[in-house]
Amino acid sequence: MSSNDMPSPDTRDAPKFHYEKPRELNRFIRRVEELFEKHGVKLDTDKIKYLGAYADARTEREWEAMSSSASGNFAMFKKEIIESYPEANDEMRGSMIELKRIINCYSNLMPEDLVQLQAYRRAFTAEAKKLQADPPLLSNHEIVNQFLQPLDESFQERIVSKLDLTRMVKSTPEKNVRAEDRFSLKEIMETAIEIARSSQISYSSDDIISLKTEPVKNASRSIDSDSDEEEFSRENKVWR
């Protein structure tokens, strides 16, 4: 194996999977993949061996017997494992249902709705991450469209226009990118938040200007009022 830094399967903090807890499979795989990233495990054959080593002995034997194990392709191996556990598939379907529920909780979000937008982004990201794990259940194009659904149409147009403009000023355009995939979910989210924050600053400036001009108006009314009192006083003197 390529890295000696990976924790031993016998250590307390190592990720573990037991056949009696199949619903924890997706979480287990995510934790192991995080370790691959952290410790620089790149080879698919190493990843396949580590994944089995962190499971209980019975499960490790079952996974080693899978046809994808001998192929040396980690993505295929992981896909075959997940498909062999209906409970794990149920979790992924549950994530799709939860994503729809989150989207339906929000509607017509505008740039001025920064607090709501941030809350929506957090909830959406948590479920989207599960659905985009390899093998992804939703393409980048599909997940971006899902995220944009509760945003006001004019807000959506501003996000895309801003990203288009950013791409135009780039010195070297990106290659081999499909038209529908030209923006990632991360780019869409970050741009939406950036526009919303700019709107908040704009509104704050307008409020300050309004507060500065208000005393002038009040002073003007006060002067007019004083003039009226003086005029009334002079008139009373004449009447007397």
Does one domain contain both 122 and 218?
A: yes
Does one domain contain both 108 and 225?
A: yes
Whether residue 12 lies inside any domain: the answer is no
Does one domain contain both 66 and 151?
A: no
Whether residue 52 lies inside any domain: the answer is yes
Does one domain contain both 75 and 95?
A: no
Task: Report the amino acid identity of residue 117.
Answer: L
Whether the predicted pLDDT of 171 surpasses 60: no
Does one domain contain both 156 and 140?
A: yes
Which comes out higher in pLDDT, residue 63 or 135? 63
Whether the predicted pLDDT of 163 surpasses 70: yes
* Distances 212 to 202, 203, 208, 209, 223 between C-alpha atoms, Å: 16, 14, 6, 5, 18
Does one domain contain both 112 and 190?
A: yes
Does one domain contain both 76 and 99?
A: no
Whether residue 9 lies inside any domain: the answer is no
Whether residue 4 lies inside any domain: the answer is no
The 3 state secondary structure assigned to the chain is CCCCCCCCCCCCCCCCECCCCHHHHHHHHHHHHHHHHHHCCCCHHHHHHHHHHCECHHHHHHHHCCHHHHHCCHHHHHHHHHHCCHHHHHHHHHHHHHHHHHHHCCCCECCCCHHHHHHHHHHHHHHHHHHCCCCCCCCHHHHHHHHHCCECHHHHHHHHHHHHHHHHCCCCCCCCCCHHHCCCHHHHHHHHHHHHHHHHHHHHHHHHHHHHHHHHHHHHHHHHHHHHHHHHHHHHHHHC
Does one domain contain both 116 and 228?
A: yes
Over the stretch 13-55, which tens digit does the pLDDT of each residue have? Answer: 899 999 999 989 988 999 999 999 999 999 999 999 999 999 9
Whether residue 13 lies inside any domain: the answer is no
Give yes or no for a contact between 111 and 155, defined as CB atoms under 8 angstroms apart.
Answer: yes
Does one domain contain both 96 and 30?
A: no
Whether residue 94 lies inside any domain: the answer is yes
Does one domain contain both 165 and 211?
A: yes
Does one domain contain both 165 and 222?
A: yes
Domain boundary among 54, 84, 114: 84
CB-based contacts of 1: which residues, under 8 Å, 6+ apart? 41, 43, 46, 49, 50
Domain containing residue 26: 22-84
Over the stretch 105-158, which tens digit does the pLDDT of each residue have? Answer: 999 999 999 999 999 999 999 889 888 876 677 889 999 999 999 999 999 999
Whether residue 7 lies inside any domain: the answer is no
- Number of domains composing the chain: 2
CB-based contacts of 163: which residues, under 8 Å, 6+ apart? 182, 183, 187, 188, 191
Which comes out higher in pLDDT, residue 103 or 130? 103
Whether residue 53 lies inside any domain: the answer is yes
Give yes or no for a contact between 103 and 109, defined as CB atoms under 8 angstroms apart.
Answer: no
Determine the pLDDT at residue 3: 56
Domain boundary among 62, 84, 106: 84
Domain boundary among 42, 69, 84: 84
Does one domain contain both 224 and 110?
A: yes
What b/e sequence results for 90-124 when a residue is b if at least 16 CB atoms lie within 10 Å of its CB, and e otherwise? ebeeebeeebeebbeebeebebebbeebeebbebb
Neighbouring-strand partners of residue 12: none
Determine the pLDDT at residue 2: 47
Residue 109 CA to residue 203 CA, distance in Å, equals 17
Over the stretch 185-231, which tens digit does the pLDDT of each residue have? Answer: 999 999 999 999 998 876 555 555 555 555 544 544 544 555 555 55
